[in-house]
Amino acid sequence: MDPNSCSNIEAETKEMDVRSLSASHQHSQYLHKVGIPPKQNLLREFIARVKETLFADDPLRPFKDQPRSRKLVLGIEAIFPIFEWGRSYNWRKFRGDLIAGLTIASLCIPQDIGYARLANLAPQYGLYSSFVPPLIYAFMGSSRDIAIGPVAVVSLLLGSMLSNEIDPNQNEAEYLRLAFTATFFAGITQVTLGFLRLGFLIDFLSHAAIIGFMAGAAITIALQQLKGLLGIQKFTKKTDIISVMRSVWGSVHHGWNWQTILIGVSFLSFLLLTKYIGKKNKKFFWVPAIAPLISVILSTFFVYITHAEKKGVQIVKNIEKGINPSSVNQIYFTGDYLLKGLKIGVVAGMIALTEAVAIGRTFASMKDYQLDGNKEMVALGAMNVVGSLASCYVATGSFSRSAVNFMSGCETAVSNIIMSCVVFLTLEFLTPLFKYTPNAILAAIIISAVVGLIDVKAAILVWKIDKFDFVACLGAFLGVVFASVEIGLLIAVIISFAKILLQVTRPRTAILGKVPRTNVYRNILQYPEATKVPGVLIVRVDSAIYFSNSNYVKERILRWLMDEEEKVKAACQPTIHFLIVEMSPVTDIDTSGIHALEELHRSLEKKNIQLILANPGPMVMDKLEASKFANLIGDDKIFLTVADAVSSCSPKPVENV
């Protein structure tokens, strides 16, 4: 194209731009300037920040302007919510809780026996953990629907980590002591997080990572049950899929027991069928709930009358009768195993907490009531601390039992008390009846229970929404399946933190354009009809500017500028004289961020381009003033809106031409 022609086009475009922008400037009678927040006392500002971080829900609000006697009552109710909702408790609610408690008890008893085996503990310890902890939670918990007890994932995690330290077969007593120690410190971890109001820490494990971790753990648990389902006696202690399948196929000719397989596969098919019936028709929710207990009764009776145990069918044999013995003297408070118990307890406590809070929030949203996360942590921690002193291992909220509890019509946490009473009666009178219960039926119950942890639809949704989230999901899944539960958990945490770091260090930026027939400026990728303002580049930064990303933000803005300069030069459009940074999403800035803006300002000055800021927030504006950066670029270069900045600044270079 002819250079003279190009110059004429540019001059005409500038002239038209002057007329249009001058007209808009005349219409704008008054431009609001960005306000500078009043200076705050440093101590007050620090206290306000801490209060907002740790006490965002203002827990002391109900105590305000209350007499001392009322404050005492409110304090007791805050620690023990049962005294608050218990005042309005009636027969109608008890009837719902009674039905729900009996229903979840029929589900929990066979599950507890199986989950104890996952943790490499004797069967009675699973029942112990469904007796004491639910009673404590009923008094201190704030969820109406959550059902407390051992769960598959935590049992597997605990069993895996404990067996890495002590062999449960060669040193059963020491293994048991370490399990109680880990449970004690799991409770201490949970209480500490709740008391110090640090519940936000569990949110660092992303939802996507939890989906992958749970699915991987479900497959690992199911594979571990092949030992009981097939009647294999010599089985690998490793949990990865390759080792397990080698162990399974390596014993196909001499280790499998066809009677055990017949019992296991038959009842597994029955359990899966009942789950399908309950899923298809919500009215029959009780069918999959009572199916495990029916399976235990029928299989136990079958083994008893046929003496199948003499033909190689492995049975539970003995479950100790009586309620929880004290384990106060068995916890390690000194010695080498103290730190090991602490480490295992912290990990198990965090996973148990994540699962319980997620379950509690889910059902609370369904019934439209608020769940206090910090109270939940204190309640869960207290029940595990007390449980560790009464021969229990880590208990938490069970999704399958909570779902049954919800659908059974539970009204309050009394359903946990009913369940606990049934477990008490079982421990006192019914444990001898489980002597001939085949291990195959326990394996079938666990497999049918963990199938629900594999949420394919959720994984597909994660893939559609966020590919990086899916990487976290897949990484956690593969880590658990091909390595171990601990490795999968570590991968999940690492990827979750990597995502946070990536978002912090590489924030999004966007080029803005003017939406037709408005004074609104939006991302031109989201709004293709939005037009760029000639001679002006408008960039939005979608993050706080800190030391971790300040250099990137500066370089990214300059790169946008270089790209835009090349485009306008090729299209013979007016050269860029103003760069407007839209700072509405910039919630905060530190000294590194200020320094980056100063460097950006110097770089633009060399190009004869003026830096303009639009709508910095109060925190940002305060720091711009304190650092004298506002004086450096000029107070008249900071505007309330992008529209104000465009209408006030863009004509100036044209008028000087």
Most distant CA pair in the chain, distance: 105
* C-alpha distances out from residue 446 to 159, 392, 412, Å: 15, 20, 27
Indicate whether 415 and 527 sit together in one domain: no
Give the residue from 446, 505, 456 showing the smallest Cα distance to 477: 456
What's the pLDDT score for residue 650? 54
Indicate whether 479 and 528 sit together in one domain: no
Q: Give the total number of structural domains in the chain.
A: 2
What's the pLDDT score for residue 30? 57
The Cα 186–Cα 182 span in angstroms is 6
Kindly state whether residue 437 falls inside one of the protein's structural domains.
yes
What are the phi and psi torsion angles at 521 (to 5°)? -115, 125
Kindly state whether residue 527 falls inside one of the protein's structural domains.
yes
Indicate whether 453 and 536 sit together in one domain: no
| Bridge partners, residue 610, by sequence | 578
DSSP string over 212-247 = HHHHHHHHHHHHHTHHHHHT-SS--S--SHHHHHHH
Indicate whether 490 and 540 sit together in one domain: no
Indicate whether 521 and 541 sit together in one domain: yes
Cα end-to-end distance, the chain, whole Å: 23
Instruction: State the CATH number of the domain containing residue 562.
Output: 3.30.750.24
Kindly state whether residue 589 falls inside one of the protein's structural domains.
yes
The Cα 649–Cα 639 span in angstroms is 10
Kindly state whether residue 154 falls inside one of the protein's structural domains.
yes
Task: Judge contact between 654 and 576, C-beta under 8 A.
Answer: no
Secondary structure of residue 541 in the 3-state scheme: strand
Kindly state whether residue 377 falls inside one of the protein's structural domains.
yes
Indicate whether 191 and 300 sit together in one domain: yes
| Positions in the chain whose pLDDT score sits under 70 | 1-31, 53-54, 56-57, 650-657
What's the token pair of residue 349? 């406590």
The Cα 261–Cα 441 span in angstroms is 10
Indicate whether 476 and 555 sit together in one domain: no
- Which residues span the domain enclosing 587? 507-649
Residue 166 DSSP symbol: S
The Cα 352–Cα 395 span in angstroms is 7
The Cα 519–Cα 538 span in angstroms is 14
Kindly state whether residue 67 falls inside one of the protein's structural domains.
no
Task: Judge contact between 644 and 33, C-beta under 8 A.
Answer: no
What's the pLDDT score for residue 9? 47
The Cα 446–Cα 432 span in angstroms is 22
Indicate whether 526 and 484 sit together in one domain: no
Number of H helices, E strands in the chain: 28, 8
Kindly state whether residue 241 falls inside one of the protein's structural domains.
yes
Query: Residue ranges of the alpha helices (H) in 60-171?
Result: 68-79, 82-85, 91-118, 123-128, 132-140, 152-165
List, in order, residues 6 or more apart from 43 with CB less than 8 Å away. Answer: none
Beta strands in 97-223 (DSSP E): 147-149
What's the token pair of residue 21? 């922008």
Give the residue from 570, 569, 180, 220 showing the smallest Cα distance to 387: 180
Which pTM does this prediction carry?
0.82
Kindly state whether residue 43 falls inside one of the protein's structural domains.
no
Indicate whether 403 and 514 sit together in one domain: no
The last residue of one of the domains, among 498, 523, 557, is: 498
* C-alpha distances out from residue 437 to 150, 231, 280, Å: 20, 14, 30
Give the residue from 313, 215, 331 showing the smallest Cα distance to 261: 313
The last residue of one of the domains, among 498, 517, 549, is: 498
The last residue of one of the domains, among 438, 463, 498, is: 498
Indicate whether 402 and 444 sit together in one domain: yes
The Cα 321–Cα 124 span in angstroms is 8
The Cα 345–Cα 343 span in angstroms is 5
Q: Characterize the bridge pairing of strands 578-582 and 536-541.
A: parallel
Chain position carrying tokens 């196909």: 252
The Cα 73–Cα 82 span in angstroms is 12
Give the residue from 533, 436, 414, 465 showing the smallest Cα distance to 105: 414
Indicate whether 490 and 558 sit together in one domain: no
What's the pLDDT score for residue 57? 67
Indicate whether 469 and 544 sit together in one domain: no
Beta strands in 469-516 (DSSP E): 509-514
